[in-house]
Amino acid sequence: MIAKIKIGTRKSKLALWQANYAKQKLESIGLDCEIVKIKSEGDINQITPLYDFGVSGIFTKSLDQALLNNTIDIAVHSLKDVPINLASGLSIHCVFKRASSSDLIVLKEKYTDFKKTLTIATSSIRRKTQWLNKYPNHKIVSLRGNVESRIQKLEKNNWDGAIFAKAGLDRLSILPENKLKLNWMVPSAAQGAVAVTSRCNENELNKLLKSISCSSTFHCVSQEREFLKLMNGGCSAPISAFAKIKEDKLIFKASVSSLDAKSIITVEDTFDYDDLKSGEKMFEMILKKGGEKILKELKKENEKN
């Protein structure tokens, strides 16, 4: 019998929103819950761009350790931050219904001329390469921190705009006056989804977690993450993947960018809903379109770090 669930989370407002959302879901099935705040290395270092860390799981490592040390029972994450290969002994049995997967740009001026040389802030290598491929005359600057501090930095600095995940702004009810949804930008694998990690051997707890999971979201993000795994990528690689369900079909779009942003390979296809090989097939499509050359470049750069 489970007495109380200790929910581990980072300390940011967005992370706490996600943890409280998980708490509400667990309490709705009769479980008593407590939130435990844990600081991550990604929160401590607010200067180095994410893609310069050269390490997977920068936001999840501390929570993984707390789980394995039995300090907490579950950890709640933005799934896009969770490494493809989980720490030994941990698993994912619950992914909540995905919110918006879109990226958007918050602008200083309502009427911005993108033909001009603009300065855009982001620490995502995926967003950076896709943006520069579309707007090669623009300049990208690094922007770290939680959602609120990034909004503040945009206001204080002489930048023209900054790129955010729409889901994060929505969850915090941050509604900037000048914003533009970037429908052309392919999102990160699992963007907009919140996942719960737990110890593999907690059979009773894992069964309960599965009961509050969204099966369609779980299926989509699993295929996205399988694609990412085959691409040997993480949140520090310019790789994108997004799958959605429409009329019992799985519509899948994915891309990979060169580090200099001059080349982007994008593929899209439709699969049967129950096709568990869609991520693998998308990977093969990327290779056939010339993705192998970009992947070799990314691998070479990773080896340097």
Q: Is 152 left (phi over 0), alpha (psi -120 to 50) or beta?
A: alpha
**Gyration radius (Cα) of the chain, Å:** 19
Q: Report which of 248, 247, 295 is spatially closest to residue 274, judged by C-alpha positions.
A: 248
Spatial separation of the C-alpha atoms in residues 139 and 272, rounded to whole Å = 41
What is the 3-state composition of the chain as percent helix, strand, coil, each rounded to the nearest 5?
35, 25, 40
Structure tokens that stand for 56 in this block:
């997977």
Our measurement of the distance from residue 247's CA atom to the centroid of its chain's CA atoms, rounded to an integer in Å, reads 26
Structure tokens that stand for 190 in this block:
């699992």
Q: Are 43 and 14 in contact, with CB atoms under 8 Å apart? A: no
Spatial separation of the C-alpha atoms in residues 265 and 261, rounded to whole Å = 11
Spatial separation of the C-alpha atoms in residues 219 and 69, rounded to whole Å = 30
- Locus of tokens 């991550």: 40
Q: Are 128 and 185 in contact, with CB atoms under 8 Å apart? A: no
Q: In what order do the strands lie in the sheet with 194-199?
A: 33-37, 5-9, 74-78, 194-199, 90-95
The residues that are catalytic are 81
Spatial separation of the C-alpha atoms in residues 64 and 197, rounded to whole Å = 8
Spatial separation of the C-alpha atoms in residues 154 and 121, rounded to whole Å = 8
